[in-house]
Chains A and B, each alone.
Chain A
Amino acid sequence: MSDASDSVARRTSRNRWFLLTPALVVLTLAASGPLLVVLIYSFLTPGDYGGVVWKPSTDGWFSVILQRDFFTDELTFADAHLSIFWRSIWLSLMTTIITFVIGFPTAYFIATRPANRRDIWMLLIIIPFWTNLLIRTFAVMELIRNEGTVNSMLIALGIIDQPIQMLFTDFAVLVGMAYVFLPLMVLPIYASMERMDFSLVEAGYDLYATRWRVLRNVIMPLVKPGVIAGSILVFVPSLGAYVTPRVLGGGKQLMLGNLIELQFGQGRNWPLGAALSLTLLFIVTVALLFYVRAAGKEEGHHG
């Protein structure tokens, strides 16, 4: 009997890996394999015209945060890189906060609509999410450029004489990222709110809680997993954002993504670019692990 079940198990297993083969081959060729190559490249020497020379070196990793003085050989912190790291993290945090402040009430609004209307409201959030990120960034650009709608309107109303320079500033990048990533905050918060039991809210009011107390001590703890998920979903792509800072920051307000690209273009320092990419990947992984742990703990609490 054990013989028969053994052979069945073997057949199922063979069958399974056979079914998985196409996906795994494609993903290994064009997703995980290349990441390993990046790791190797980060330990090589840059070539004169881009590319690499096959000579091991740790300079790529060194230059992520340090720089060597050309004359004295003294090591100092690479201020330019550090300030870009800092800007990326700061802008991503701000984006997360802004999308939360707008997205949480919106998710709540949708969750409190009659059941048959919620899908339609959600569709209104999902449509922008599935439309081209570049187009949405471009739409923001047209709105805030010097000859754009906002400035034209303010001038026509006589509030200002000269257009306010908004494009190519941190403000523009922030507005753009908040705009394009907003749906990512609303979706998971709504998902956990929809399942929320409103009799608990009612119980809170029966105990003479104010609206604020109910929000703070009843609703918030119940939807916390959604809030954490939304924050991670916004923070992670913000950190790696490339298109939005490029279009709205105009090549001046760099973020990590643009700094990485620079190394493969004018910078001609592929090992540094590779090391920077892996640094970004590392930060993102830490954020994701933090999320997995937080989500796991929540599951433990309620389940």
Chain B
Amino acid sequence: MAKPFDIRRQTGFNAIAMACFVLLYLPIILLVIYSFNAGRSVAIWEGFSWRWYISAWQNDQVQSATVRSLILATSAAIFSTACAVPAALATTRQGSFKGYTFVFALINQPLMVPEIVTAVALLIVFAAVKVATGYTGFGYLILAHTAFCIPFAYMPIRARLQGMNLNLEQAGADLYGTPWRVFRHVTLPQLWPGILAGAMLAFVTSLDDVVITEFVKSAGQDTLPTYMLGQMRRVVTPEVNAISSALLAISVVMVMAFFFLSKTRK
């Protein structure tokens, strides 16, 4: 008997899809494998060792870049979420309003404007401010990262607010709850997964940024990605693989957590 006719089948599509998954993961997997290489090569396997992780760990530049990256990503995540929560409330809870399109465009601007353009714009402005004030500290990076993380923090929070049952808030208001008390005791407890998801996306986005950091940073303010970008001009040792693998691990854990966090809402 012939195989039953499968309406969903398209010739060659499964093969291409499988090839796609292999191609997507093969380079990353090889990168991780060679971070454990005992030799100096990133292509010839000479046995397993933690050598490059240890050498990265003991590298002062890597250490300070790691600390800087983590402080920056944490601050950007906190500040951008703090901006995104009220913004999401204002754009979902009170109906449409004049200027909505403008506000929405402004919030999403970092997603639409090419990163290199934002980077150059910030370079110009901050260069002028640096000359005028003499301040060359870490604040510029925190401000820049907070700004481009806002849409990433905003999206999951807004989605959560839109999916929420309004009856509960209505009930709270009917029971003479002040707007603040309703928010604090009714909205906020339901909003937590959204806030957490938004903060995580912001954290990962900040941690991964190269272009804007590269243009905004002052001398000696390398983050892990800009440090790695600098290293790639030379002969690369598996130390860069080791740093990459560690960063990859953080991103993967974050994305998985985000994935399951957003699944639990249903």
The answer to whether B30 touches A211, judged by C-beta atoms less than 8 angstroms apart, is no
The answer to whether the Cβ of A274 comes within 8 Å of any Cβ in the partner chain is: yes
Interface residues of B in 224-265 (CB under 8 A from A): 225, 228-229, 232, 236, 240-241, 244, 247-248, 251-252, 254-256, 259, 263
Contact B27 A147 (CB under 8 A): no
Shortest Cβ distance from residue B181 to the other chain A in the assembled complex, whole angstroms: 15
Q: B114 in the interface, Cβ–Cβ < 8 Å?
A: yes
User: Which residues on B sit within 8 Å (CB–CB) of A202?
Assistant: 7
Question: Are B20 and A182 closer than 8 Å at their CB atoms?
Answer: yes
- Known: A20-B103, A281-B114. Contact between A142 and B255, CB under 8 A? no
B41-49, B57-65, B160-168, B190-198 - the one binding chain A: B41-49
Contact of B116 among A134, A139, A145, A260 (CB under 8 A): A260
Determine whether B1 belongs to the interface, using a CB cutoff of 8 Å to chain A: no
Q: How far is the CA of A213 from the CA of B179 in the complex (A)?
A: 58
A215 and B122: CB pair below 8 A? Answer: no
A286 within 8 A of B: no
List residues of B (9-34) whose CB comes within 8 Å of A's CBs: 9-14, 16-17, 19-21, 23-28, 30-31, 34
A228-284 contacts to B (CB < 8 Å):
236-237, 239-240, 242-243, 246-247, 256-257, 260-261, 264, 270, 273-274, 277-278, 280-281, 284
Count the B residues whose beta carbon is within 8 Å of the partner chain — how many?
A: 91
Q: A19-B86, A26-B150, A109-B13 are in contact. Are A240 and B24 (CB under 8 A)?
A: no
Query: In chain A between 49 and 102, which residues have their CB closer than 8 angstroms to a CB of chain B?
Result: 51, 101-102
Tell me how far the C-beta of A156 lies from the nearest C-beta in chain B, rounded to whole angstroms: 10
Q: Does B54 contact A (CB under 8 A)?
A: no
A24 touches B103 (CB 8 A): yes
Beta-carbon nearest neighbor of B80 in chain A? A26
Is B112 engaged at the interface, CB distance under 8 Å to the other chain? Answer: yes
Q: Does A141 contact B (CB under 8 A)?
A: yes
B210 sits at the interface (CB 8 A): yes
Q: Given A31-B110, A142-B43, is A179 in contact with B27 using a C-beta cutoff of 8 Å?
A: yes
**Cβ of A158 < 8 Å from any Cβ of B?**
no
Pick from B82, B115, B259: contact of A126, CB under 8 Å: B259
Residue of A nearest to B6 (CB): A112
- Distance of A143 Cα from B26 Cα, bound (Å): 9
Residues of A within 8 Å of B44, CB to CB, are 152
Contact at A23–B112, with CB atoms within 8 Å?
Answer: no
CB pair A19–B87 under 8 Å, yes or no, is yes
Interface pair A23/B20, CB less than 8 Å apart: no
B120 in contact (CB, < 8 A): yes
> Chain B residues near A273 (CB, 8 Å)?
120
Judge whether B10 and A108 touch: CB under 8 Å: yes
Bound-complex Cα distance A138 to B28 (A): 9
Query: Which residues of B have CB within 8 Å of A20?
Result: 86-87, 90-91, 103
B107 at the interface (CB under 8 A from A): yes
Q: Given A109-B13, A119-B263, A205-B7, are A19 and B113 neighbors across the interface (CB < 8 Å)? A: no
Most buried by A among B16, B34, B97: B16
Nearest CB of A to B130, in Å: 11
Say yes or no: is A103 at the interface (Cβ < 8 Å to chain B): yes
In the bound complex, CA of A128 to CA of B119 (Å) = 24
Q: Could you give 13 example pairs across A and B, Cβ below 8 Å?
A: A12-B94, A31-B147, A32-B106, A37-B128, A106-B16, A123-B259, A136-B28, A138-B236, A179-B23, A215-B10, A247-B229, A257-B114, A280-B114
The 6 tightest CB contacts between A and B, nearest first, are: A240-B114, A109-B17, A34-B121, A30-B147, A139-B27, A19-B90
